[in-house]
A and B are shown apart, each in its own frame.
Chain A
Amino acid sequence: MDFLNALVALCNYVLVPSIAYGSQLALGALGVTLIYGILRFSNFAHGDTMAFGATVTILFTWLLQSFGISFGPLPTALLALPFGILGCIALVLTTDRLVYRFYRQQKAKPVILVIVSMGVMFIMNGLVRFILGPANRKFTDGERFIISAREFKAMTGLREGLAFKTTQGITVITAVVVVIALFWFLNRTRTGKSMRAYSDNEDLALLSGINPERVVMVTWLIVASLATIAGVLYGLDKSFKPFTYMLLLLPIFASAIVGGLGNPFGAIAGGFLIAFSEVTITYAWKKVLVYALPEQWEPTGLVQLLSTDYKYAVSFSLLIIVLLFRPTGLFKGKSV
C-alpha cells in the first residue's frame, strides 16, 4: 500500500489527460450550444469546422516554420492560430450567407437545417481532405514536456512519474482564458446581452430592436473562433486527422446535451463530465489499485470496466441516461 504513488498514478493516467480532453470537448460543445441557442439547430458540421480551422492553422504553421519563425518553447501553431481563426471565420460566414440564411428567412423547420448542416459537413470535410489529404499529421513543435515523468521521479523520489505535456498545459490555460472572455462578453457587453436576449425569446428581442442578422453574424464569429481553438488544441495534444474530427462530433454533442443544449455553462460542465467518464471507464485501474489496496486485495485482472474501443459508447450511454431522466440536461437547457 502506497498512497502517494497511487495518487500520482491516478493524476498521470486519469486526471491530467481527462482535464485536457475535457477542455477540448468543452470548447467544442460551447460552439454547438451557441449555434443551438441562437440559430436553433444542432450543427452537424461543427466537427469539420474544427478540422477546417485546424487545417488553416497548420498551413500557416508550416509557412511560419519555413520563415524560420518559432515561438520558443511553445508550439508555433499558437502564432498561426489567429490566421486559422480568420480563415475559419471567412469560411463560416460564406457558408451562412450561401446556405443557412435562405432557410432562416424561410423559417424552415430545425430538422431541415440539421440535414443542411450534414451537407455542409461533407463539403467541409471534402475541403479539408482536398487541402491536407486524409493522413495523420503532427504539427507540434517546441518543448514537449513541462514536467517529464523522469524529472518528476527524480524530483520526488516516487516510483510513479507524473508527465505533464506542454500541449496539455496550453490546452487548459487557453480554455480557461477563452471561457472567461466568452462569459465576460455574454454577460457584460451590449452585443453579448442582445445575443442572450435573442436566444431566450426571439420575438421579444426583435421587438426591442435587436438586429437578428447582426446577432447571427456575431454568433458565427464566436463559434468559428471557438471551433478553431478547440480544433488546434486537440490536434496539438493528439494529432490531426480529418476522420477523427468527424468522430469527435459524438462526444461533443453528448457534452452539449448532457449539460443542457443552449446553456454555455452546461456545455463546459458536460465536456468535463463526458471526458472524465470516458477516461475513467476505459482506463485499466490495476496500477492505481495495486498501490492503493493492501497486498492481499490486489486485483488479478486489468480492472478495466470497458475496453477503450467503447469510448464513444460511454459518452452515448451518458447521453441516453440524461435524455431519459432529465431531457433538458443537467443545467436546464432548452428541450423543445
Chain B
Amino acid sequence: MTDQMKNIGLFVLVGLLIVATGFLQSWNSALLIMNMGLISAIMALGVNLQWGFAGLFNVGIMGFAALGGLATVLVAMPPVSEAWTAGGPRLLLSLGLGIGTLIAATWGYRTLPKGRLRTFGLIGFLLVGFFLFRRVFDPSVLLVEAINPAGTGYLGGLGLPVLLAWPMGGVLAAGAAWIIGKTALGLRSDYLAIATLGIAEIIVAVLKNEDWLARGVKNVTGIPRPVPYEVLLQKDAGFISTAQTLGLDPVVASSLYVKLSYSVLFTVVLLILLWFAQSALKSPWGRMMRAIRDNEVAAEAMGKDVTARHLQVFILGSAICGIAGAMMTTLDGQLTPGGYQPLRYTFLIWVMVIVGGSGNNFGAILGGFVMWFFWVQVEPIGQLLMAVLTSGLADSSALKIHLLDSVAHMRLFTMGLILLFVLRFSPRGLIPEK
C-alpha cells in the first residue's frame, strides 16, 4: 500500500511541476511539455518493452521514430499528381526491381547448393540487379524532383486522414525492426546495439537525401492536422464567445485549445498502449519474457525459442517507437529529417526508462515525463546557475563568456551524469519492477 502511495505521489509531483510551469512561465509552455512528455512516455514504454521485459539494448529509437515521421508524410500529404504522371510508375517499377532482386538472391542462397558457383553467381546477379535498378531509378528520380522543386519535388502521400499515419508508422518501424532483428538477434547483445545504431543512421541518411520520397532536407511542411487550426478557431463566433465567458483572449484560448486537443489524443493512445503493455506483462507471455531475460539458458532448456521471442518483443517495442514518432511529426506539423540525431535523443529515452524504473510500465511513463521536464528546464536552470556562479567575474572576462556560452552543451552532460548515478546507486529506478 505504501508503495502505491509513493508511486501516486511521484506522478502527482510531476503533475504539480507541470502545473507550476503553467503558473510561473506560461500555460502554453506547460502544455508543450505535457504533449512532448506524453510522446516521450510512449517511446519509453516501447523501450521498456524491449529492455525491461527482454533485456534487449536498442540504440536506434530515433531511426524508428523517423520512420514514423515518414509515415505521416506518406499517409497524410496530398499526392503530387504531376510528379506521379512524370515518374511515379517508373519509380515504383525500379523499387520493385530492387526488392525483387534482393528476394530472388535470398531465395537463390537458400535453394542453390553450397559452393563457389553459388557465391559468385549470386554476387554477379546482385551486381547486375543493382545496375539495372539504378538504370531505371535515376532518370525517374530526376523527373519527379524536377516538378516544382521549390514547392513539392516529391511524390507526395496518399491524402488520407493523418490519424491513420500513426498505426502506419508502427507498421513501418516494425518492418525495419524485423530486418535488424533477423540479423542481429541471437548474436551477442552488443551487436544488436551497434546494428540498431547503424540502421538509425541509415534511415536518417535516406530521409535526408532521397528528395523524391519526402523532400529531404527541404522538409515537408503543412502536414494535415487531426485537430482544428488556431486561425479558424479565432474566426469561429461560438469559440470566441466561449473564450470570452472564460475570460480568455481568443488568440491565447485557440492555441491552448489546440494543444489540449493534442493532449487528449495522445493520452488516449498512451492509455491504450499502457493497457496492452500491462496485460502483456501479467500474461503467461510476459512471465515467459521475464524468465528468458533472467536466465536465457534455463528458458531455452524449458523449450522456449529465445531468439524468436526476442524478435517478437523487439518488433513490438520498435513499432511503439514508430507510433510515437508519427505522433511527434503530427504535433510538429512538419517533417525535418535534419532534426533527427540518432544517438542524442535515443540516449534521452534510455535515461527516461532507467530513471523511471526498467521493467515497470508505470516507471517508464513517469520517467518519460520527469526527464522531458528536466530536459526542457535544465537549460534555463543551468543558465541561472552559471550566472550566479560567475557573478563574481567581470562581464567582459573571457572565462565568463566562455562559461555562459557552454551552458547550452551541458544538457547531454547532465543526462549522462544522471544515468551513471541512477545506474550505480539506484539501478531499479524510481518505480522498481515488482
Contact = CB atoms under 8 A, between A and B. Distances in A.
B92 interface: no
Nearest to B418: A119
A42 B190 contact: yes
A324 interface: yes
B420 A99 contact: yes
Interface of B is mostly: helix
Given A111-B55, A122-B415, A312 B184 contact: no
B95 interface: no
Nearest to B419: A119
Contact of A120 (B188, B198, B416): B416
B198 A111 contact: no
Contacts of B426: none
Given A119-B416, A123-B416, A130 B409 contact: yes
Given A111-B57, A316-B198, A119 B423 contact: yes
A327 interface: yes
Interface string A108-130: 01111011101111110111011
A102 B427 CA distance: 13
A42 B194 CA distance: 9
B330 to A, nearest CB: 27
Contact of A323 (B187, B409, B414): B187
A112 B193 CA distance: 12
A130 B187 contact: no
A313 interface: yes
Interface string A303-330: 0010101101101100110011001000
Interface in B150-207: 183-184, 187-191, 193-195, 197-199, 201-202, 205
B350 interface: yes
Nearest to A47: B343
Contacts of A257: 191, 194
B233 interface: no
Interface string B418-431: 01100110000000
A73 interface: no
Given A114-B193, A319-B194, A246 B343 contact: yes
Contacts of B85: none
B205 A309 contact: yes
Contacts of B188: 110, 335-336
A312 B193 CA distance: 16
Interface in A182-200: none
27 contacts: A102-B424, A109-B55, A115-B423, A118-B59, A118-B347, A118-B350, A120-B416, A120-B420, A121-B416, A123-B413, A123-B416, A125-B416, A126-B409, A129-B406, A130-B409, A133-B406, A133-B409, A249-B197, A250-B194, A257-B191, A310-B209, A312-B198, A313-B201, A313-B205, A320-B183, A323-B183, A327-B187
Top 4 A-B pairs ranked by shortest CB distance? A126-B413, A122-B416, A316-B198, A129-B409
Given A118-B59, A309-B205, 7 more contacts: A116-B420, A118-B350, A119-B420, A122-B413, A246-B343, A250-B198, A309-B209
Interface of B: 55, 57, 59, 130, 138, 183-184, 187-191, 193-195, 197-199, 201-202, 205, 208-209, 343, 347, 350, 354, 405-406, 409-410, 412-417, 419-420, 423-424
Interface of A: 41-42, 44, 99, 102, 109-112, 114-116, 118-123, 125-127, 129-130, 133-134, 246-247, 249-250, 253-254, 257, 301, 305, 307, 309-310, 312-313, 315-316, 319-320, 323-324, 327, 335-336
